[in-house]
Chains A and B, each alone.
Chain A
Amino acid sequence: EVQLVESGGGLVQPGGSLRLSCAASGFIFSTYSMNWVRQAPGKGLEWVSFIMSSSSAMFYADSVKGRFTISRDNAKNSLYLQMNSLRAEDTAVYYCAPGVGWPPRLEHWGQGTLVTVSS
Chain B
Amino acid sequence: DIQVTQSPSSLSASVGDRVTITCRASQDLSNYLAWYQQKPGKVPKLLIYATSTLQSGVPSRFSGSGSGTDFTLTISSLQPEDVATYYCQKYNSAPYTFGQGTRLEIK
Give A contacts to B, CB under 8 Å: 35, 37, 44-47, 50, 59-62, 95, 101, 103-107, 109-112
Also in contact, A106 and B34, with CB within 8 A (given A44-B87, A111-B43, A112-B43): yes
Contacts of A50 in B (CB 8 A): 94, 96
- A110–B98 CA distance with the chains assembled, in angstroms: 18
Chain B at the A interface: SS class: loop
Contacts of B95 in A (CB 8 A): 47, 59-62
Chain B residues within an 8 Å CB radius of A103: 32, 91-93
What 16 additional pairs, Cβ within 8 angstroms, besides A44-B87, A110-B43? A35-B96, A44-B85, A44-B99, A44-B101, A45-B87, A45-B89, A47-B96, A50-B94, A95-B44, A105-B46, A105-B50, A105-B91, A106-B46, A106-B89, A109-B44, A111-B43
Which residues of chain A are near B87, meaning CB under 8 Å? 44-45
Whether B49 contacts A105 by the Cβ 8 Å rule is yes
Per the bound structure, the CA–CA distance linking A111 and B42 in Å amounts to 8
Q: How large is the interface on B (under 10, 10 to 19, 20 to 34, 35 or more residues)?
A: 20 to 34
Closest chain-A Cβ to B33's Cβ sits at a distance in Å of 10
- Chain A contacts of B89 at CB under 8 A? 45, 47, 106
Interface of A is mostly: loop
Instruction: Closest A residue to B87 by CB, please name it.
Output: A45
Alpha-carbon separation in the docked complex, A59 to B97 (Å)? 12
* Distance between Cα atoms of A21 and B43 in the complex (Å): 18
**Quick one: which of A44, A104, A109, A112 contacts B98, CB cutoff 8 A?**
A44
| A106 to B98 alpha-carbon distance, docked (Å) | 12
